[in-house]
Structures are given as C-alpha cells and as structure tokens.
Structure 1
Amino acid sequence: MKYIKQKILLFVLLLAMAMPVSVYAAGEGNIDNGGGGMGAGTGTNFWSSHDEGVRVTVIRASDGSVASASIDLTNKHPTDIRVHFGKVSKTSYRNGAGLSARMGGYTFYNPAQSLPQIISTSRGGANLAAIKQYFTDEQVIRAIAGYVGMDFQTLTNGEYKLLLEPIAYVTFEGVRTAFTATEAAKYNQLRGGLLRKKMPSLSHKNLPLAMFLETSDLGYPAWSGSKTEKANDEDIIRALGLGIVRFNEVVTPEVIEADYEYRVDTDVITAVTVSGGQSDPDNSVTVTFSILGRSYKVENVYYPEDGQQLVWVKWHTPSTEQHITIIVTASGGSASVSRGTITANIVDLDDNPPPNPVADDRNDSYRKENAVMPVNPEKTQAAWSVWKAKWKEKWVWHSDWNWESEDHSASCEAGCTQSHGYWQDDGEYVDEGWWEFEEKHYSASLTADMHLVTDEKAPTADGMVTKSGYGVNVSLSARALSSQTSATTAPQTAVSYFPEFYYETYWRLLERTRNGYSAVFEFKNNEYSTYYRRTHFTPVWMPDGEYRVYTYLLDCWTPDGMLSVNLSNAVQISGSLWDDWHIAPQNVR
C-alpha cells in the first residue's frame, strides 16, 4: 500500500513539472523572526529540528532585480532530497516565475562557518541576534561572494543586497522534499491545501516566521501580523519567509531641479544640488548631465553626512532656438541612481530689431509718462562652495599573539617535558581613521557701466544734447571677477530697449566688441545708417526731454546662477532734425 501511495505522489509531482503554475504576488540585516511549537507529525509527514538551510540571492538595490543565481546554504548534507523546486528566489516568483517541481539533483553549499539555528521549534527558539551577526560577518559575506561568482568589493559596494529565505528539508507524503516558505505556500495552493493540512506548524508558521522584515525594503513590506500564529498562503507569498542584508546604507542622492532660459550660442552653466547620506573618496558620487545627445560627467563628488554639494557643468548652447530637456543622473559609491529633469528654453534675442525710421514718421498717441523702464532680475554677487575630503589617520595596534617554540637546551634534564619557547605578538598597526571634510568657498561678482552718447555724425549735437531723428551710440563696459574662473563665464549678452517702444516690442542685441571677463558691448552696425555706423536713430517725433535707453546685461554664469545687471543712461532731446533744414529760393543769375 505504501508503494502505491508513493507512485501516486510521484505522478502528481511529474504532473506539476509538466504544468508549471505561475502565481503573481505583490509584494537591515533587515531580519525579524517568530514561530515556535510543533505538531507531532506522522510517519510519512514530518520535519526534524535543524533540518534546514537558507537560500541566498544577490539583488540589485536600484531596481530590485535579481543579480545572481540563488544558492542554498546548510549545515546538513541533504543528498537524499528527491523533490525540490530549483533555485528560484522569492523575487523571481514575484516577477512571475512559475512553481515547477524537480526530481533529484538538489545542490547546496556547506559553509566553513556553520549557520545558526534558523527555524524555531518547541524545544528551542532561533536566536535573532545570532542570525543577524552571521549574515553580516565579513568572512561569511566573502564566502557568499565566492559561491555566486562576484568580487567581494563589488558585492559590498552598496549597489547590491542579499535576499535571505529559510529552507526546510521535510518528509512529505514519504518523500524527502526541500522548499522555501514561498515555495511551500505555492505548493500548498497547487495541492489544494494538503501541505497545510499535513504539516501546518512548519509550512505555515515556523518556516515563514523564521524570517521577515523589520522595515520595508525591495518592495516587500515589514510584517505587522502575528508572530506566533499560522499565516495564510497569500501573506506568506507577500511578506514572510525573507530577510535582507544591506551594505553601506543605500542612499538615493536627491537631485534638486531648476528650469533655465539660455540664449543661443552662449557658454552657460547648469547646476544641481546632490544630497543624501555621505559621499567621500571611498564612496564618491558621479553626476552625469545628458544634454543634446552628449554626456557630461562630473566625478568625485564629496560631501559630509547629511550635507549637500552643488554640482555643475559648463556647456555651449546651440545656435538655433529650441526647447530642450536635460537629464541628470547621480550614482556611485553606496548610492543608487536618482534622476532629475531640467527643461531649458534656448532663445534668440537677435530677431526683433527696430524697423527702419523715416522722416515722416508720426506717433501722436505717444505718452512719455507711459514709457516705464523694466526692472529685470538682477544679481551681482554669487557664492558657492566645494567640499574637500582629507583622511584623518588613527593607527591602532591589532595584536596577533603566536607561540614561538624552541628546542630543548643542553641544560634540560633527561626526559624533560617542559615546553620551551615564548609568546610573540605578530600584530600590525591598522589605520582606523576617517574622512574629515573642509568646505572651500568661492565667489564671483559682476559690475558694469553704460554710457549713451550722441552720434558723431549728428551735425548739431552739443555734448549730451541732440535733436530728435539723429542717432545715439552706446558703450557698455562689464567686468566679472571670480575666485574660480573655471566655474564662471564671461558676461556675454547685453540687450537694449527704447522709450519710443515703451521698452518693449523691439530691441537691439548689442555686439561684444571685446571678449573676456572685462568685456565691452556696443550697438551692432545699423543697416539703415548711411555710414553703417553703430547707432540707433531716435524717432523724429520724439518729444523734447530725456531720452533714456535701458540695457540688460546678462549671461555671466556661475554655479550659483546667472549674474546680471540693469543699466540705463540718457541724452537730452531738444528740437528735431527738421530744424536743421533750410529752404531758400535758388539763386538765379
């Protein structure tokens, strides 16, 4: 009869292999546990204390994806396992892997350091502190790195986590079987609740409650249910039977976004602030700006714990107007990748110069009092800082006492049994220092001076007084000073607005006639000027009085933003060019 039952079980398992069942579930050391108390079991359905192991899977911290093959660690030698479900992690099941039974061929590792008890029983509870200590021990982690084929430094650089799942080796319906808590719940569903009926204390209490999360992680919730009562299949699949080991607190740098408006064909600086955790030369952050198909990398970004760092890139805008999106990513060290999106409008200010003035222009509706000069954002000082990291040494002696044995000497009596030798400390000094941070401060300033003068070709101009209809010229001198010139652009743009247009509608983009941090700007050559001069013609209908031109100096970029200055200067209008015309009869002889 027993033989018949085993044949039936084998048929059911083969059927399960042929028809995999896919069950989807929704989901620091981060480990807690519970359980305790066991049923008596039967001759064909039982579990023995300590007949257990732990499945370990490397998970990518940034997106929770599986980064290695799973391995099973155990103190036992379960070569008699006839049924298991392969090396499938809880994360893989969550992502849609189906439960598929396998016959024989079960593989495992016996670590050099024996595992502590994992599953609690009525005769003794598992020690949570011992479990945490074991799976955070350097030698254990080094062994795991070797088993999964990863470099120890890579595994522990903060980009990965370990997913732990307790395993039970049981006899179910007379067959030696291995399963994790998730597999037990899924198998119970497949068998119509038979596993919970036969082995409830193990499959739905002690095994799933052997490990669960203290805090949510990798998309799995912290367990807030009972730690002593049996759980249902759904809760086990969702939140039980797992622990997580993290390396170097994974912190996502927070990218603080900003929107910009840039001019075409201009050197600019785009800056973001990176914060979160600590970044140092052993754990640096790299920030990448993706702009117009090109990547600009800023490496070796450091800042102290709970600090922040301004990070910037200098680049040149395109020559045509457009709207662009800048993608910013921050990564490296123990930090996962965070993304930031910056939108920028690239505008051309050289597309709306004033129309050609003519002698018979009129504007009877013009009201001088309505010509109010604008006040654009002005910033003449900038300040920023960069963190520098310096190692603070602290050398500590680590002892390593060893017995140096010596041979018997001539003075020894015959049959001397005394041990000859001495203890020697073969230790070494270990630098247990730390990184100290120093903040280096930088600054920049922008000053400017604007002069509006009457055109030399105006025949009746007198100093700062001219008649309407004649031209005026501008000369603007700008000077940028910076303690970090590599992080500061020269002033590059100046645009003038005029009272006859109420300081809007039309404007003139000035030409930079001297480049550099001490720059000079003037009107561009006027195509309507007889002599092609750098001039702007005042309208012939302009009323007498002050004629004030407003100029906005901008595009002096720093990591702390753009420096800019509002400027204006005036000449006086008295009379019009018609006053210089004289009509007389032709002298006929």
Structure 2
Amino acid sequence: MKRLFSMLLCAALLISCASIPAFAGDGEGNIDNGGGDMGSGTAQNIWHTGQEGVRVTVVRASDNKPVSVPVDLTNKDESNVELHFGKKSKLHYRNGTSFILTATNYTFTNPSEPLPKIISDGGGNTNIEAIRSYFTDRQVIKSLATIIGTTYEKLTNGEYKLLLEPIAYFTFEGKKYAMTATEAAKDDQKLGGGLRSKMVSLTHQNLPLSMYLDKSDMGYPAYEGSTTRAQPDSTIISSLGLGIVKFKDSPDPEPVNNNYDATYRTNTDVITSVTLDAGSEIDPDSPAQVTFHILGSSYTRTGIVIPEGDSQLVWVKWHTPSTPQTVNITVSTNKGSLSENRITANIANMTESTPPDPTAKDRNDSFMVPDVPAELTSSSNTWSVWSADWVPVWEWEENWKWESHPDWPSGGKWVDHGKWVDAGYWEYDRTTYHASLSADMDLEPDDKDPTRHGKTMRSGYGVKISIDSAMGTSASSSNVTGAQTAVTYFPEFAYSTYWRVLDRMTDGLSATFAFQKNIYSTYNRRVHFTPLWYPDGKYTAYTVLEDAWTPAGMLSAKLTDDVTIDGNVYDDWHEAPMPVD
C-alpha cells in the first residue's frame, strides 16, 4: 500500500521558472512562462484564444530515447487542421528526423479532464499552478497511460518520463496549421522568416515561452533568457517549448563529466558555430563582425546584418591538430550577443579496435545473428544568412526662411529652401541554405576468394568494402566539408567489441572509403575475414559515416550491406589419393 501511495504522488513537472517553487508528492519542480500582447491579426493570419494543446511523448529515462508515438491533447475539435508536420517530438527532430509538411488527416485526443490554459493571450500569464497540478495528477496520468496504450503502473515504474510540448492551432496564409513551438521555429527557418513576420507574438513569444525548463534534462538546458520578448528560431529549437514530467524513481542518465563543449577528430576539417543574437537592428551601415581565436590564429567574419530581435549562425572552418589535445576557442563580437564566448574542444583520435586473427579452431556454438543497431544519424540540415537592402522613401524636408524685400508692401516673403530627403529603411531577407549527405556501401567477397559467386561466398574468406559518399549543398562548397571518417562494425562481434576504421581513399565532397590493409592477410589485402563458424545466411556489416561538417552541425549516415554465406572454406578442399608413379 505504501508503494502504491508513493506511485500516486511521485510525478513532478520540471518546467520553469525558479520564481515559483512547488512540490508534488515525492517529486519536485516548478513552472513559469512568459508572453505578451498577441497584437492584431487578419483572417489570413490569426490565432484565437483557446486554440491550443499539448503533445505528449513517452521517453525512456535511461537514455532519453522516445519510445511512443506522440499524442496531441486539446480541449477543442481540431479536425479542420489542414497542414501539420506529423507526430514528432522535439527529441525526434534533434535526432535527425525529417521535417516534412503534410496534408494528411490530423489526429488528436480530447482528454476526459480538460487541459488548463496553456498559451497566454496577452491578458496575463496562464495559471501556472493549474498546469503543474494537471500534469502531476494521478487521474490525468492514468488517462494518459490509456491514451498512449500502456498501463499506469508501467508508465510510473521509474523507467520513463513524459516530454510535453505546447501546440498552437492557427491560421497562416489562409490555411489552418497545428505546430509545436519547435516546429514553428523550424518552419520559420525554411520560410526565411515568413512565419515570424506574420505571427511573431504567437509563434516566437507566447507559444515557446509557455513552457521551458528550470533544470536541464534530456540534454536541454535550463532557460534563463528573456520571458517578455520574441525569441530567435535557434533559441526556441535549443531551449524553449518543452516541459518534462519525471516520476520518482526515474534515473537520470549519468552526465558525461568531461567539461568539453565540442569533440572533434584529429586531422580533420571542422566547422565551429555560434549564434549571434541582435537585441537591436544590425544594419549594413554598422555591421557586426565576429572573431574566432583558435590555436594562435584569428578568423573574422565581417559584414553580418540581422534584424532586431532575430539571430544568425556565425561560423569558422578550420583544421584540427594531428595529435589529441584540448583546444580553447574564444569568440568575440562588436555587436549583439553571442551564444558562447568560449568553447573548449576535445581533439580525439579515431581509434580502431582491430579484430583478432581468425583461426580454424575458432568456435561460437551459442551464436545468434544480432540485429543491426538503430544508430541515430542526421544526414541533412539547414541554416540561414541575413542580408539587407535599402528601401528608399523620399520625403520633402521643409526649411522655410524669410526673404526680406523692403520695397514690397509686405516687406518680404517666406521661401521654402527645403530638400528631398531619403527617409527609407533597411529591408531584411533571409536566405536558407541546406546540405545533405548521401552514401552507398558495397560489401562483396574478396577477389582472392576462388569460389565466390556474385555476393555469395564461403565463410572464412575475406570481404571487401567500398563506400562512395556525396555531400550536396546549396551554399558555397567552402561552407561545408565532405565525409571524413568511417567505421565498420561486424555481426560476429555483435556490432561492438571490435571494429575497423576505414581508409579515406579520396577526399573532398565525394569522398570514398575502403578497409585498411589487413595485417593478417597474406597478400596485404584490404579485407575483413569472416569467421569460419559463421552460419549460412546473410552476413551484414554496418558502417557509420561521419565528420561531414556544416554551419548547423555534423552530418552522418548509417550504411549497411550484406553478402550471403553458403558453406565454409573446408567445402573447397578436395581429398584424393596421392598419385603413384
């Protein structure tokens, strides 16, 4: 009974801010939000109070991986939503899930216990206590468990957390949308600021500021920024529009205590980026410049322009040292504020765990073919750059002066000595660039295998690998790198324990890779030997391709290919009588 009672009271909502602490049973947490006046809209671009909801995703506490299809809760009938981005959470997007607009049927759930007010409409903050109380209520959690398709006991057994994201239902350019705060920011990036220009109070202020963390969790930081002004897309994506329901026994993943802000491989081209926020307009008359100081050298980006209240990535491309070490990077600017002024980078070797020399005596009688790991990769991303053009607005500036004429009855007259003055303004435009990494992997029997047939071979012979990659981008090629590292894993080692670091055979945006020369190969071949004991069937290797850098981060790809094992090398041996003269 004591256990049951503690389970009923163990949920705690970890949504900001520190100004209003609260306790829920055996848990702790707090919640706050910001916002402002919604402004005025039009029939083409408008949001109505109450058109809101919350997306709920079950997350495994041990590794912060989403384990459920997100469900959208709302008090209203939102069946008239025309466009949305599917059921994806903030974690899904961070892990590289594609961001695609869809016109498919939008599904939602009206909870039996109505949601409290989530998004402020400018008439005052939402009821913080009501939101906290709702998402830590036993009956609500039981109802959520049913909606998600699990039991209350399993949901609250300490193995899971709930990720909450506020949703807004609004009309944009005449179409009804459903978006989380993260989706609104990502969509605005794709539209080059088009969403922000029409719906800024909702999409970039009241929606993202309706939930944020007071304590870092799931890899997201505690938010300590402004709660009264519109936020840049980058800040929303990294820090806003989320809350976490944590159950009493939920373990926190062990933090990586290395004090590094970034990790790079030795002897590679990398791109280091920071976000420059503009509290006030940065225009071409007085542009910003950002300087990176790395290993005794300085790299300066000039001519940066950003509209008031927005932001832009600023980056530097550089080559890492050939030996492992710590590199301290400092960043400075003459305008705006930077997301980081100091970056501590760990330069690490790409180490190989070389498979042992295979022998004829090797056995593994209990072997079962493992599943290929579900590696999370991100093969595409986008970033934006602001530009500005002057829009002239000519106005007549009066300058009346009295001109004396003594011989006139009036004694003179007023004459306008004015002039035309350009009272124009800077019009900003955001150009969005994209980059994508594609690759093909070909695993085949080694050419020295005398009985190979296509992709079928005997176990005990070697396999060779060929990887062709392509880095595509709409930006200048100087702003990206091709793939630079590749590591291949094998089923006989359960895709762990031992692996091979591949040689980069050609560099650039179309890099190719192959095995290193095998020290156990009689002919010094670039092969990996399959174990003699491997069972007949598919032999699948998988490769992680990495270090393809863009201003928005590193791209990577997971590749697999297989050969078919049919028999072993002993089947190629033939016994016959010794001929006698």
TM-score by length of 2: 0.51
Residue correspondence of structure 1 range 107-122 to structure 2 within 5 A: none
Match of 2:368 in 1: 368
The counterpart of 2:481, out of the listed 485, 489, 492, is 489
- Partner-residue secondary structure (3-state), 2:286: coil
The residue identity in structure 1 corresponding to 2:296 is G
Preserved CA contact (<8 Å) 2:272 2:316: yes
Match of 2:3 in 1: none
| Superposition deviation, residue 352 in structure 1 | 2.8
Q: Which moved more, 1:446-455 or 1:398-407?
A: 398-407
Alpha-carbon distance in structure 2 between the residues aligned to 1:472 and 1:350:
21
Match of 1:523 in 2: 515
Alpha-carbon distance in structure 1 between the residues aligned to 2:396 and 2:509:
55
Alpha-carbon distance in structure 1 between the residues aligned to 2:466 and 2:555:
19
Alpha-carbon distance in structure 2 between the residues aligned to 1:550 and 1:310:
33
The residue identity in structure 2 corresponding to 1:311 is V
Match of 1:355 in 2: 356
Alpha-carbon distance in structure 2 between the residues aligned to 1:373 and 1:349:
22
Matched, 1:295 2:287: no
Preserved CA contact (<8 Å) 1:405 1:420: yes
Which digits, 9 at most, give the CA deviation of each residue in 1:481-534, with x for residues without a partner? 110023221122221111122111222222232333233222222233222222
| Superposition deviation, residue 406 in structure 1 | 5.7
| Superposition deviation, residue 372 in structure 1 | 3.2
| Superposition deviation, residue 587 in structure 1 | 3.5
The residue identity in structure 1 corresponding to 2:302 is E
Match of 1:380 in 2: 379
- Partner-residue secondary structure (3-state), 2:521: coil
Residue correspondence of structure 1 range 476-515 to structure 2 within 5 A: 476-484=467-475, 485-515=477-507
The residue identity in structure 2 corresponding to 1:431 is D
Alpha-carbon distance in structure 2 between the residues aligned to 1:325 and 1:353:
32
1:345 and 1:374, CA in 2 relative to 1: closer, same or farther beyond 3 A?
Answer: farther
1:361 and 1:422, CA in 2 relative to 1: closer, same or farther beyond 3 A?
Answer: farther
Alpha-carbon distance in structure 2 between the residues aligned to 1:282 and 1:525:
58
| Superposition deviation, residue 429 in structure 1 | 2.5
Match of 1:68 in 2: none
Match of 1:397 in 2: 396
Match of 2:275 in 1: 273
Preserved CA contact (<8 Å) 1:497 1:504: yes
Which digits, 9 at most, give the CA deviation of each residue in 1:15-73, with x for residues without a partner? xxxxxxxxxxxxxxxxxxxxxxxxxxxxxxxxxxxxxxxxxxxxxxxxxxxxxxxxxxx
- Partner-residue secondary structure (3-state), 1:518: coil
| Superposition deviation, residue 538 in structure 1 | 1.1
Match of 1:546 in 2: 538
Alpha-carbon distance in structure 2 between the residues aligned to 1:405 and 1:476:
89
| Superposition deviation, residue 337 in structure 1 | 7.5
Alpha-carbon distance in structure 1 between the residues aligned to 2:283 and 2:314:
15
Alpha-carbon distance in structure 2 between the residues aligned to 1:558 and 1:364:
44
Match of 1:425 in 2: 416
Which digits, 9 at most, give the CA deviation of each residue in 1:285-334, with x for residues without a partner? 222222233222222222111111111111112212233333232333xx
1:368 and 1:343, CA in 2 relative to 1: closer, same or farther beyond 3 A?
Answer: farther
Residue correspondence of structure 1 range 8-407 to structure 2 within 5 A: 259-277=261-279, 278-332=281-335, 335=336, 339-357=340-358, 359-364=359-364, 366-369=366-369, 371-405=370-404
Alpha-carbon distance in structure 2 between the residues aligned to 1:528 and 1:325:
41
The sequence identity of aligned pairs, in percent, is 47
Alpha-carbon distance in structure 1 between the residues aligned to 2:539 and 2:529:
11
Matched, 1:439 2:430: yes
Which digits, 9 at most, give the CA deviation of each residue in 1:81-135, with x for residues without a partner? xxxxxxxxxxxxxxxxxxxxxxxxxxxxxxxxxxxxxxxxxxxxxxxxxxxxxxx
Preserved CA contact (<8 Å) 2:277 2:337: no
| Superposition deviation, residue 362 in structure 1 | 1.4
Matched, 1:463 2:462: no
1:307 and 1:351, CA in 2 relative to 1: closer, same or farther beyond 3 A?
Answer: same
| Cα RMSD after superposing both structures | 2.9
1:531 and 1:541, CA in 2 relative to 1: closer, same or farther beyond 3 A?
Answer: same
Preserved CA contact (<8 Å) 1:331 1:338: no
| Superposition deviation, residue 446 in structure 1 | 1.8
- Partner-residue secondary structure (3-state), 1:368: coil
Preserved CA contact (<8 Å) 2:268 2:319: yes
The residue identity in structure 2 corresponding to 1:288 is T
1:366 and 1:296, CA in 2 relative to 1: closer, same or farther beyond 3 A?
Answer: farther
Alpha-carbon distance in structure 2 between the residues aligned to 1:351 and 1:343:
25
Preserved CA contact (<8 Å) 1:330 1:339: no
Paired residues, what number?
Answer: 326
Alpha-carbon distance in structure 1 between the residues aligned to 2:326 and 2:363:
37
Preserved CA contact (<8 Å) 2:549 2:555: yes
Preserved CA contact (<8 Å) 1:270 1:314: yes
Matched, 1:534 2:526: yes
TM-score by length of 1: 0.51
Larger gyration radius, structure 1 or structure 2 = 1
| Superposition deviation, residue 441 in structure 1 | 1.4
